[in-house]
Amino acid sequence: MFHRAISRRHVGMGGLVIVVGSALSACSGDSKNNADVTGPSAQTSAGSTTLPTFDKFRSTLQSVQQQSNGGLGFNMWGSIVDRNGVVQLVVFTGNSPTEEWPGSRVISAQKANTANAFSLKDFALSTANLYAATQPGGTLFGLGESNPVDPTTAYKGQVQDYGSPKDAMIGQRVGGVNVFGGGLALYGSDGTLLGAVGVSGDLSCADHIIAWKVRHALGLDFVPKGVADGGKDDNIIFDLDSSDHSASGFGHPVCNDATKKIAENLPTSDPISHP
């Protein structure tokens, strides 16, 4: 089920990174005009300049989830926030909102919020890039508690409406900071930072892979620069040593051999576009 053990120290599971001997806990807003969300998709072969429609986002996430992503193959939750941090879309890949981990719905929105909150027009940070710096002794230790999830916003509404256009998170700021893989900023073909996508429901490294492929398929990966691949992008970085020190300062634990290989090849298999 888990393929191979990743190391003596780390197992990334279900969008969570479990560190043996210690636990990493993951911890009403303005609604903008949604015309660019509910109207016709602007995606072209050259990319998109608007956020996707509900149907486009859901079908894309479903397609990517069915690919070989190195994880457990579980159903996924996905959320998109706009640049103001307002939730625009919440979807799932299964046949009902109970065929995915229930906790991953809010985590997906939390990841989207994080990637949006800590990315800029000219600089992208993925949630995976935040892991090392937020550990004890890291330069961003405590960041995970800085912008807590609003539980009233996150859990109101009916379960049967979760992951639909009637999801109660839509039009609200859920907040939250997440520091493992699965959240990526969304950049339009005109260079505009439109918001971010977050996905959750599998190994944290697989979540990152799925989010990357979804962003690429939506034509919203015109990433200006980041901390990975020589500063070219916001890909996950696997550079933790035996003492959990990250040479770059932006490292993430390895989940398993399969996700490591797929993730490191993403700039080739699903290359980012250029503004």
pLDDT in tens, 239-261: 999 988 999 999 999 999 999 99
Most confident region among 2-11, 24-33, 120-129 by mean pLDDT: 120-129
Average pLDDT over residues 45-62: 90
Closest CA to 133 of 120, 119, 143: 143
In angstroms, the first-to-last Cα distance of the chain is 40
Residue 274: predicted pLDDT: 78
Angstrom distance (rounded) from CA 161 to CA 164: 6
Sole residue written with tokens 């393929």: 3
Residue 15: predicted pLDDT: 45
Return the minimum-mean-pLDDT range out of 39-48, 83-92, 150-159, 195-204.
Answer: 39-48
Angstrom distance (rounded) from CA 193 to CA 178: 19
Q: Give the Cα-Cα-Cα angle 7, 269, 181 (nearest 5 degrees).
A: 45
Residue 143 pLDDT grade (very low, low, confident, very high; cuts 50, 70, 90): confident
Q: What single DSSP character describes residue 163?
A: T
- For the domain spanning 10-269, the CATH number is 3.30.450.150
Q: HSE (CB half, 13 Å, CA atoms) of 95?
A: 0
Q: What is the pTM of this model?
A: 0.83
3-state DSSP assignment of residue 126: coil
| Per-residue pLDDT at 139 exceeds 70 | yes
Average pLDDT over residues 49-70: 97
Residue 37: predicted pLDDT: 35
Closest CA to 205 of 184, 182, 228: 182
164: its two tokens: 């639909």
Residue 152 pLDDT grade (very low, low, confident, very high; cuts 50, 70, 90): very high
Residue 106 pLDDT grade (very low, low, confident, very high; cuts 50, 70, 90): very high
Average pLDDT over residues 160-169: 97
Domain limits, the chain: 10-269
Closest CA to 197 of 60, 66, 94, 70: 60
3-state DSSP assignment of residue 118: coil
Angstrom distance (rounded) from CA 3 to CA 257: 8
